[in-house]
Amino acid sequence: MLLLTIVLIPFIFGLLSWQLEQISVFAPRWVALLGVSIVLLISSILWLCQIECFNLLFSKFVIMNQPTSLWQLEYIADWIPRFGINFHLALDGLSLLMLMLSGILGFVAVLGAWNSNVDCHQRSQGLFYLNLLCLLGSGIGAVLSIDMFLFFFFWEITLIPMYFLISEWGYIEFKSKNLRVISATKFFIYAQFSGLCMLVSIVIISYFNYQMNGFWSFDYDTLLQVKLPRNIEYCFMLGFFLSFAIKMPIVPFHSWLPEVHSFSPIMGSVDLVGILLKTSIYGFFRFVLPFCPCAAQDFSLVAMLLGLLNICYGSWMACAQTDIKKIIAYANISHMGLILIAIYSNNHLSYQGAIIHMISCSVSAAGMFMISGQLYERFNTRNITEIGGLWNNINFIPVFSLCFVVAMLGIPGTGNFVGEAIILFGIFQTAPFIAIIAALVSILFSSIYSLILMQKVYYGFPSKIRGFSVNIGFREKLISIVLLMCIFLIGLFPQFILDTSYKTTQYIYMRLQKYDRT
């Protein structure tokens, strides 16, 4: 029941926020904060149960499965028995890390929306928090779903709140609401095509299970035993690959992302980069590699080349942007390229590095989005050519910005450095030439766009904009401090993530080793 509870909490508190706005304009934000705090608390308890000294403390409340089982915690209930569809949730090391990431970024997103100047009228704040928490809840449901139809169900639900966050609460600098609606519609179309590719793949493998065993099932463990013909396995893998490549995103399916980030509120960008996009990486590890070991190995060279294209294109485009949010968006596309290479490297070390890099990039990107929001609240612009010389004119924000930029650069001591280093060491064992190119391009161009961002905003010509507030409140400081603590904790003590994800990544790696490319 604990897994079901953690999925339902965001939806329940979102509905409460919506209804309580009739009582007080302040009630929705406090209810939303309470909801995400409970999610974060439960996630923390589940993670502490991994540590032996804390396991005895929480054993009365959380009963974990035996270490021999892949799933540490499970919940199953009938949903559509005729087609073998169950409400099946399960927790392992990978989904636990995703759950923790969702809890932290959900907490940060609600705090970031506290006094936001986006187009959020007092009478609609409850509906705003309803969409924000539904987005969080659907993301949590996706990473805990073991029934593949249930995974598809939560995957599709994420589109609805994200659409409304973009179209209704986007930035007021875009005077025409039609532009926000067009951007949201573009996102919705891309995401719907992504869902269609996934649904076709799920139906294919479920149909083959029906042909082999005589019953319909969408259960993960059951379908994992289905032996697909080689050509059908390729079709299944390509369907899932397209689905996850669109949402990750991978070039050339990326064009929706920078536009969506430009129009969405800061909180939407945080949840988008930290929850929605990272669910695709989770999907690669959970579905593509275990279900398609032969096809994944044969497709590895193509995927790695696409990863290199992502690194180069994302970095080059980030260097050419003047909008802070677009710089962050293209930098994130570049980081996704390195993670894609790691996923298809057929190397256990790279798998673990990809997970660390995924988490740390989400946190550092969320921090940069929060900084861009704080700058926008003071200058009403995100254009780096219109603001400058702020280092001595505004408190704390330049220091926090420098720390997040250092993290994006992958400087030692940050989580990004640990993730990149582990990935590159792993890739070098299987594809040294690709590892060298990825390292050179990533280091060179990430330095350029990071230095451009810092130079233009904080060391450039003094801004002509006057009358801005130089002080930042406790809430804004707390957001940055929490995110920076996560980045440096991962960078200095990465072993707790490696230990948590080891069993899952080892299982995926061993499953791929059972199949020969021939």
22-48 mean pLDDT: 87
Q: How many folded domains does the chain comprise?
A: 1
Residue-range definition of the domain harbouring residue 401:
299-518
The alpha carbon torsion through 307, 310, 315, 320 (nearest 10 deg) reads 170
170-180 mean pLDDT: 64
For 305-361, write each residue's pLDDT tens digit.
999 999 999 999 988 888 888 888 899 899 999 999 999 988 899 999 999 999 999
How many Cα atoms are found within 13 Å in the side-chain-facing hemisphere of 314? 32
| Closest alpha carbon to 232 in 302, 287, 297, 292 | 292
- Average pLDDT, rounded, for the chain: 84
Statement: residue 130 has pLDDT above 80: yes
In a domain, 386, yes or no: yes
pLDDT of residue 120: 46
The CA–CA distances, whole Å, from 165 to 108, 109, 253, 280, 349 equal 16, 13, 22, 20, 38
In a domain, 153, yes or no: no
CB 151 within 8 A of CB 300: no
In a domain, 72, yes or no: no
Percent of the chain with pLDDT over 70: 90
CB 28 within 8 A of CB 129: yes
In a domain, 377, yes or no: yes
474 membership: H or E segment, kind and range? helix 474-492
189-203 mean pLDDT: 91
The alpha carbon torsion through 376, 332, 39, 30 (nearest 10 deg) reads 10
In a domain, 286, yes or no: no
SS3 91: strand
213-237 mean pLDDT: 86
DSSP state of 115: T
11-39 mean pLDDT: 88
Name the residue with higher pLDDT: 381 or 187: 187
In a domain, 354, yes or no: yes
Range with the poorest average pLDDT among 62-71, 244-253, 269-278, 363-372: 62-71
103-126 mean pLDDT: 72
Q: Is the dihedral of CA 485, 486, 492, 496 positive or negative?
A: positive
88 membership: H or E segment, kind and range? strand 85-91
In a domain, 347, yes or no: yes
In a domain, 471, yes or no: yes
pLDDT of residue 469: 54
